[in-house]
Amino acid sequence: MQHAAATTVLGNFDDASFDYFGVHSRFFKKDNQFFVETDGPDGKLASFEVKYTFGIDPLQQYLIEFPDGRLQALSIAWDSRPKEQGGQRWFHLYPNEEIKHDDVLHWTRINQNWNFMCAECHSTGVQKNYDAASDRFRTTWTEISVGCEACHGKGSRHISWAHNQRSWFGKDDDPRKGLAVFLNERNGITWPPDSRTGNPQRSIVPAVTRREVETCGLCHARRGEFSEEWVPGQPLSDTHTVSLLARGLYHADGQMRDEVYNYGPFKQSKMFAAGVTCSDCHEPHSGKLRASGDGVCLQCHATDKYEVASHRRHEGVTPAVTCASCHMPVSTYMVVDKRHDHSLRIPRPDLSVKLGTPNACNNCHADKPAQWAADAIESWHGPVRKGFQNYAEAFQASWTNATDAVARLAAVAASPTTPAIARASALGELHSRVSPTNIELARKGLVDPDPMVRVAALDMLDGLPGDRIWPIVSPLLADPSRGVRIRAVSVLAAVPLANQPASDRTAFERAAAEFIAAQRLNADRPEARSTLGNFYVQRRLTADAENEYKAALRLSPQYAPAAINLADLYRQLGRDGEGESVLRTAITSSRQDAGLHHALGLTLTRQKRPDDALIEFRTASELEPDRSRYAYVYAVALHASGRTGESIDVLKQNLVRHPHDRETLSGLISFSRESGNIAAALEYAERLSRLLPNDRELARLTDDLRARLKQ
């Protein structure tokens, strides 16, 4: 990030223009300042001064300052690549969808706000300084761009140390040179070959969390900040919520899908498990690799084993296939920014055949089917080639609600050789599937040395009765990691103070204060305001909760969870009429949000307006057919209205999309039996029995249906 000036601005501001869905934007200079004429917050053309540049290669964005202290990132960016590579042009970051002025992704709106979205990583010593009462920012930084203190911490003691080295009165012999953190984990480390495998092995067993990886992760992770008290080298989970291998962010096998950067992928890698750290491959001060091309890999991997035709299988190909071509495939973000997947995996086209995940082979051989690539890999390397990351089928099973999802997830969570981020993700996926048979996984996760796993174990337990889980969760109210403490207190929030053991109350109140402070830090975001509202609901502070939900909707009227939560609060308070009003107002801003329509349907049902409710339930099921619950509720509403045939048809269609959905099968059993179709009811009961083999009541029902069919 730099001040906009002739020496820093790369884009063409010589009265250049750019057209985007009917908006004609113009870039020009006036009195040595840089301006853009484009659509503003009201959708009308206006001129805005460019205050700062943002980025250099392969693109540069531009920041506009508003009177309330907001810096907003313009969505039209400059492609700074050479012209022969397609650069030296203006382009839009969302080229294939029209982003209008009232969209949260519009450059003037909340999701293009530099103060929250960008500042922490692109400047040093950032203090956001958002004032919720006035809805204004007074954001400050110690350095406008990334400086030494961004990685090494406060530098005043280091400067004193440097001055003392020139002192007449003796040098300061501090081995850390006055630095707040010494990133010296590579010092003295060697990588001798393992006598069994021939592969290099770190001379010292690596720590669970590494100072350098956690420091780099601050800006190279998909994460959310909840404290500005970050200290270099400390686990990122102390001050940030790190995204796990979630659907939509990652593919089922852990390959990056959305913009997840490098931290999450790298923590899945065999390299990380072996003890490799960022600066083994990257020189941190120059930003360059330690060696050019494949040389960076061949620092450790023997040339006679890996740089040979029997391994590469691509001799004579132009351009030459590199290690990264197969083991670090590229994805493109922000239209022109190519990034390597740092999970460093072997190509698995066999998984592409089975699960539809991408693979490096077909990235190049796009004209060939995945089975062709899978056959080639097997012919070269044999059938046993699973590699290090072996959890794709577990996450795919979870995301499709397959019958074996629980067993597969439990195996991942329990595996001591599985990367911690994958074990944490498996625990999180088990949240809706907790049972007496797998709760021990959560108990073990709560004492895992990696705070990311401890947080995920709490995610798994969230929603269970607080009194029941208090004995195993309450110790984490005093966990060394702030991220664990605030997650623990949110899980236990519903337990009244009078029901808490006296010995735990101080820790609970301290963690509760930290939780509230974490949401207050992000009071400029509707997510934080709604999260705090949920916490207040659990603490029975309904007036405070109402205020937080309303604040969230003022910040972003499109933020559906706040509207849904506020409507549900009004339900609890017997104010369904107000809940209906909240939901209808939100729908005017987010007509395509299925959750809002579903919530409105429930509200109308409670008001005994079944015909109006049916319209909303149907809309929700049509807008989001992947949510089986919406279709199920719509079918139940149809049945309640006496339209049993239609309800069965809806459930049948839902079952095609969700063949393992238990609610859908239960509904089909009930409605088919009621309509006299005992054969169909038995068929669905047998299908459900295969999903729930230990359900005695279901077994009795199935036997009864068989008996009735024989009559």
Alpha helices in 125-267 (DSSP H): 148-152, 156-164, 211-217, 263-267
Q: Is the pLDDT of residue 364 over 80?
A: yes
Beta strand 89-92 with 136-137 is: unpaired
Span 204-242, pLDDT tens digits: 999 998 999 999 999 999 999 999 999 999 999 999 999
Closest CA to 262 of 150, 333, 343, 326: 343
- Does residue 385 carry a pLDDT above 90? no
Residues sharing a CB contact under 8 Å with residue 500, sequence separation 6 or more, in sequence order: 470, 508
Do 50 and 123 have their domain in common?
A: yes
Could you give the maximum distance between any two Cα atoms of the chain, in Å?
107
Q: Please report the pLDDT score of residue 652 as a whole number.
A: 97
Confidence at residue 567, expressed as pLDDT on a 0 to 100 scale: 98
User: pTM for this one?
Assistant: 0.94
Among 346, 375, 404, residue at a domain's last position? 346
H or E element: which one contains 48?
Answer: strand 45-54
Does residue 408 lie in a domain region? no
Q: Is residue 301 part of a domain?
A: yes
Q: Which amino acid is at 45?
A: L
Backbone angles phi, psi at 333, to 5 degrees: -125, 160
Asked if 597 and 620 count as a contact pair (C-beta separation under 8 A), the reply is yes
DSSP for 277-290 reads: -HHHHEETTTTEES
- Which of 328, 346, 364 represents a domain boundary (last residue)? 346
31 lies in the same domain as 88: yes
Residue 276 CB coordination number (10 Å) = 23
Let me know if residue 624 belongs to a domain.
Answer: no
Into how many domains does the chain fold? Answer: 3
Q: What is the structure's pLDDT at 169?
A: 67
pLDDT in tens, 635-658: 999 999 999 999 999 999 999 999
pLDDT for 179: 84
121 with 161, same domain?
no
Domain residues for the domain of 314 are 211-346
pLDDT at 315: 86
In this structure, are residues 514 and 482 in contact, taking their beta carbons and an 8 Å threshold?
A: yes
pLDDT at 32: 93
Quick check: 148 pLDDT over 70?
yes
Residues 107 and 160 in one domain: no
**How far apart, in whole angstroms, are the C-alpha atoms of residue 54 and residue 122?**
8
Residues 340 and 241 in one domain: yes
Q: Which residue has the higher pLDDT, 123 or 193?
A: 123
638 found inside a domain: no
Give the mean pLDDT of the chain: 95
Residues 342 and 265: beta-carbon distance below 8 Å: yes
In this prediction, residue 317 carries a pLDDT of 87
Confidence tier at 550 by pLDDT (50, 70, 90): very high
Q: Strand, coil or helix: what is 247?
A: strand
What are the respective helix, strand and coil percentages of the chain, to the nearest 5?
50, 10, 40
- The residues near 314 (Cβ < 8 Å, ≥ 6 apart) are 320, 321
In a domain, 426, yes or no: no
Verify that 238 and 331 share a domain, yes or no. yes
Local confidence band at 563 (pLDDT 50, 70, 90 cut-offs) = very high
**471-491: per-residue pLDDT in tens?**
999 999 999 999 999 999 999
SS3 state at 113: strand
pLDDT, tens digit, 9 for 90 and up, residues 169-190: 667 778 888 888 888 889 899 9
Query: For 14-46, what is each residue's pLDDT tens digit?
Result: 999 999 999 999 999 999 999 999 999 999 999
Residue among 691, 655, 649 nearest 672 (CA): 649
Last residue of some domain: 180, 195, 225? 180
Task: Specify whether 231 is located in the same domain as 277.
Answer: yes
Q: Which two tokens stand for residue 296?
A: 């960076």
63 lies in some domain: yes
- Residue 159 in this model has a pLDDT that exceeds 90: no
- Indicate if 162 and 132 belong to the same structural domain: no
